[in-house]
Amino acid sequence: MTTLLDTLVHAARLGGEVVMRHYAAGVEARAKSDGSPVTLADTEAEAAILASLRRDQPDVPTVGEETGASPGANGERFFLIDPLDGTREFISRNGEFTVNIALIENGEPVAGVVLAPAMGRLFAGSRETGAFEITPDGSRRPLRVRAAPTCPVVLGSRSHATAETMLWLERFPGHGAEPCGSSVKFGRIAAGEADLYPRLGPTMEWDTAAGDAVLRAAGGLTATLDGEALRYGQGGGDWRNPHFIAYGDPALAGRCRGAG
């Protein structure tokens, strides 16, 4: 798995190089059919990632946000790729965007890499290796979620906050709140820098899988509102997630169920 995780890190860095070239040059966005923005950085970064994965792991099918599913991506074992999560953050130039690659096995994200190239942060993890952050000097700093404080720190979507989310958070009076774009939220929770990320709004599986893998490897949990671990590749081609909560300390899930 270490070799596989290194493969994901390498592919993510290649994608990140493409993204940062466009970030430096400036790009214009166009609207996809669902109204969400897309840029040349999205499509070219995904092409670089796919080429790297197919060279190093040719037998593993892929599902990418921009290119869809390759033949054989039937939900049992595949790579799930978001070449640029936080396109709105990319366009607004606040640095909070990520490159995401996950390996899914039988519905579970078993390995993942989240690269935030403008922030200089790379989070990685698998169920075999645990989670770690690769620092700019190349060293690996182990990651572990923290025990939840009485008033947890909540990371909220910078671009997609909803009234339903704010209502859900009323069960934690006095909580701290920080806006944060893209899947970097998962990495920060895995690093013990925050405790919760509730998302009661639309997301796709490629938005969450890599960060979810890192968080699980660090001892955390991403679960539906019913408390079930988030699953991937189970919708027969429907890649939408249900509403979910990303928890650092899994004990927070019990507190939430107790709050109703």
Q: Is 85 annotated as a binding residue?
A: yes
Say whether both 128 and 190 belong to one domain.
no
Domain count, the chain: 2
Residue 148 lies in a domain: no
Q: Judge whether 29 and 37 are in contact, CB under 8 Å.
A: yes
Domain end among 117, 143, 169: 143
Q: What is the mean pLDDT of each run of 10 residues along the chain (260 residues)?
A: 87 97 83 78 96 96 94 87 92 92 97 97 96 93 95 81 80 84 95 96 95 98 95 89 96 73
Say whether both 47 and 137 belong to one domain.
yes
Residue 170 lies in a domain: yes
**pLDDT at residue number 160:** 62
Say whether both 105 and 211 belong to one domain.
no
Say whether both 135 and 171 belong to one domain.
no
Say whether both 80 and 173 belong to one domain.
no
Q: Is the pTM of this model over 0.75?
A: yes
Domain end among 84, 117, 143: 143
Q: Is 84 annotated as a binding residue?
A: yes
Q: Say whether 211 sits in a helix, a strand or coil.
A: helix
| DSSP letter for each residue of 31-94 | E-TTS-EE-HHHHHHHHHHHHHHHHH-TTS-EEETTTEEPTT-SSSEEEEEEEEE-HHHHHHT-
Q: Is 105 annotated as a binding residue?
A: no
Each residue's pLDDT tens digit, 52-104: 999 999 999 999 999 999 988 877 899 999 999 988 888 888 899 999 999 99
Say whether both 122 and 70 belong to one domain.
yes
Q: Is 87 annotated as a binding residue?
A: yes
Residue 192 lies in a domain: yes
Domain of 77: which CATH number?
3.30.540.10
Residue 131 lies in a domain: yes
Q: Is 86 annotated as a binding residue?
A: yes
Say whether both 27 and 116 belong to one domain.
yes
Domain of 215: which CATH number?
3.40.190.80
Residue 80 lies in a domain: yes
Q: Is 75 annotated as a binding residue?
A: no
Residue 77 lies in a domain: yes
- Rounded-to-integer distance, Cα 251 and Cα 77, Å: 30
Say whether both 35 and 59 belong to one domain.
yes
Residue 125 lies in a domain: yes
Domain that holds residue 57: 2-143
Domain end among 97, 120, 143: 143
Q: Is 195 annotated as a binding residue?
A: no
**pLDDT at residue number 51:** 98
What average pLDDT does the chain have?
91
Say whether both 134 and 40 belong to one domain.
yes
**pLDDT at residue number 161:** 63
Say whether both 136 and 158 belong to one domain.
no
Say whether both 111 and 170 belong to one domain.
no
Tokens of 86: 């936080």
Say whether both 188 and 250 belong to one domain.
yes
Residue 62 lies in a domain: yes
